[in-house]
Structure 1
């Protein structure tokens, strides 16, 4: 016990020091992989070490190679920080070390999952009674939901995937917009469904309803069909027109899935809920709690309207397992071994409350608007998207100049902003996702962008 407590105290000290450094430290890491490997030691010791000393070595060796992802000035990818109650709860997850598969094994975890799941459905405006599974991230949330959809549309034809697999069965037709996220393609590949048929999208990445109707009609109405929509385009932040597209899909008896990795949280804000209007009429939804809600990694959410469809795809039987007639966490996600992901989600929601979640969404969107206004005032810069949520894409003239601005910005270290390609152009892509981002963080980051543009 003494060794364990000493190691935990050492970890606590380093964690507090790390978090305290975030407001002032450069955001990019300043040591290479090889340097960190040498500091960690490449030879495995012959004998044991003192746990507290091991923790100290890990923290001091790795600190130079850490990127300040939790910083309020990290805008790359779509990465949130860690809300305080969720972070503390996640420490308890490791200490409690629960097996989170069955009600009987951990009543505490099952209770937290049920309560957090019900709160999520309420906040996101999704049908009560839907099943909520806690996965590793949005990729596996998409996988889980689409597995339920695949099996359900095939079951309508009389084909049993669980028993017979896919070989010899009817083909499943999958439609998605041209600007869908690559995680959707990956999930479909895992499921043996291949690439989706692409439906025309507008200049903001929204699937075009009329083009979808033509595509659905072209299938003849007989083939099992899945439609994938998105809440929040990765570049523009745009939302598909859910009411029109879901209505068309219903006429074709298609399963409708919504990939809402970060954008589904718009539904929690009265100011932005209009972006998700009609979204609740879909059959399944995927999102990330470690994006907009800002809980620690890893925590995706797979939500399926019909719990029996999810259980049919994900459920597992085993003679040594203790099944509960009310259902178990094991019925909703692919993994057997998993962290207690619902504990930090419960903590974040309980800490923020309904209004706190709405305020969080509103604040992220306000910062995005400030970025767009500030960048538009920089000579030679152009904001390319309609900033409707938390994403901004900007160009600095030519692709070459945009790349130079990005490189100088990373060298500066004030903020982390990554590049991408959108509509055939290189762009600076800003994603505002961190609960701790302040007005000052945005102002400092805009100043850094201005300096980088002058040097480019």
Structure 2
């Protein structure tokens, strides 16, 4: 394009809004076609991704052509995770008001690290914190930090726990560091999520230092196998097993931990929302007795990616663990979001979360959670009628499915994914291959499930002759 005045050109782009109109047209086209899209991209769409491979551009490119390229080749190479037939990785759909809010906040482009950077983001973090504490029935004053997802939330919570347990032994990790620190104990179930192990590793707690509790056939910690707890112990419980959806006995674990002055963290990425359901609240009984919690809003709540939350009963412990200082930082008398998370530069995700909670309200959130779980029960029932083996107790939104043997199970899953008409992931269940179904989108109906059951049956039929 030769030498141009980019500043003047970009000013004109904002003035005419032609690029925004172009993007809006493409976005509307995507929304309108979403119900008819295959769940995963075609081979042709994946091959066309090669069109993005080029040398580093020397000159400025046409912004309109950039958007055209993204829509023509990029849109077709997306996974339709917001649709009705995507059941992979507990990835939720997205509620329309949240999607619209995200459009608006993308235009705002706020950094929510400090109040002075974004008063609106700060205020809505404050509001969402209070609402979440109320929804989950936690102690008033519980702190919340808004992060990318429950993996980071777990890192934040475990850091707060580790530092507090060391401080209780008279050791200040901020001034002395970890080398030479007194030992702390960490207790987890043998089916703990990989993000828990990642958090522990990143924080200097190796696998050989962790006390692993045996689990039952649903992945729940066996309470009678818990080691004696003390004031040097962090216990990490699960609200929703990553594969089968089972919940540890949070109340029993917390009772034992509270008596010993141990710290309990609850990993509730998708399952913590059971606390909002009258029918399923029993799964999280005793939740308020824990010390910290991690949860995703972009899973069960169907907020946009990325929206995770760390909650900590001891506000000072979380703030101390996430401490930051610098002469350039301008703290305020209002909420400064960076005090509760690792980042200073962070997206204003609280705005979308606020929009979802305000739109749904308690009644709507309960209805959303119950619909997802009811659909999981319906899916499991219909698969059972067709001769599939549902291996788990379907207590929340997760289903574990097997066929006659491991070979047919693996082949059936491969066929399901290759069909591109619905999508779910695989997992190991009792050390054998299984099909893992996560019901997470508000768009999924019983008609969609019936269609998917037929796909499962057809894919098993294709797999059986190959194996037999």
> Could you state the TM-score of these two structures normalised by the residue count of structure 1?
0.96
Q: Measure the CA separation in 2 of the matches of 1:52 and 1:271.
A: 51
Gap regions ≥5 residues in structure 2: 1-10, 464-468
Say whether 1:90 aligns with 2:98. no
Report the secondary structure of 1:216's partner residue.
coil
Work out the CA distance in 1 between the residues paired with 2:276 and 2:424. Answer: 27
Aligned to 2:80: 68
Contact 2:237–2:248 at 8 Å: present in 1 too? yes
Aligned mates of 2:35, 2:139 — CA distance in 1: 40
Find the counterpart in structure 2 of residue 348 from structure 1.
356
Report the alpha carbon displacement of residue 50 of structure 1 after superposing the two structures with TM: 2.4
Alignment of 1:203 with 2:210, yes or no, is no
State the Cα RMSD in Å. 1.5
Pair 1:242-2:250 in alignment: yes
Question: Conserved in 1, the CA contact under 8 Å of 2:83 and 2:444?
Answer: yes
Say yes or no: does 1:409 pair with 2:416. yes
Residue 193 of structure 2 corresponds to residue 185 of structure 1 = no
In the TM superposition, what are the counterparts of 1:426-437 in structure 2 within 5 Å?
Answer: 426-437=433-444
- Return the alpha-carbon distance in structure 2 between the equivalents of residues 312 and 439 of structure 1: 48
User: Counterpart of 1:311?
Assistant: 319
1:71–1:437: 8 Å Cα contact kept in structure 2? yes
Cα displacement (A) at 1:2: 4.4
2:163 equivalent in structure 1: 151
Distance 2:46 2:368 in 1: 38
Q: Does 1:397 align with 2:404?
A: yes
Q: Is the 8 A contact 2:46 2:77 kept in 1?
A: no
1:53 aligns with 2:60: no
Aligned counterparts of 2:357 and 2:241: Cα–Cα separation in 1: 25
Query: Displacement, 1:107?
Result: 1.1
Q: C-alpha separation between the residues in 2 aligned to 1:232 and 1:266?
A: 9
SS at match of 2:215: coil
- Note if contact 2:97-2:356 (Cα within 8 Å) is conserved in structure 1: yes
Matched length = 449
Unaligned runs of 5+ in 1: none
- CA contact 2:45–2:76 (8 Å) conserved in 1: no
**SS at structure 1 position matched to 2:345:** coil
Matched, 1:366 2:374: yes
Match of 1:446 in 2: 453
Q: How far is the alpha carbon of 1:33 from its aligned partner?
A: 8.4
DSSP 3-state at the match of 2:362? helix
The residue aligned with 1:27 is: 39
Cα distance in 1 for partners of 2:250, 2:113 equals 34
Q: Of 393, 399, 404, which residue of structure 2 is paired with 1:386?
A: 393
Is the CA contact 1:31–1:64 (under 8 Å) kept in the aligned structure 2? no
Aligned to 1:3: 13
C-alpha contact (below 8 Å) 1:172/1:193 kept by paired residues: no
* C-alpha distance in structure 2 between counterparts of 1:22 and 1:126, whole Å: 38
Structure 2 matches for 1:303-342, cutoff 5 A? 303-342=311-350
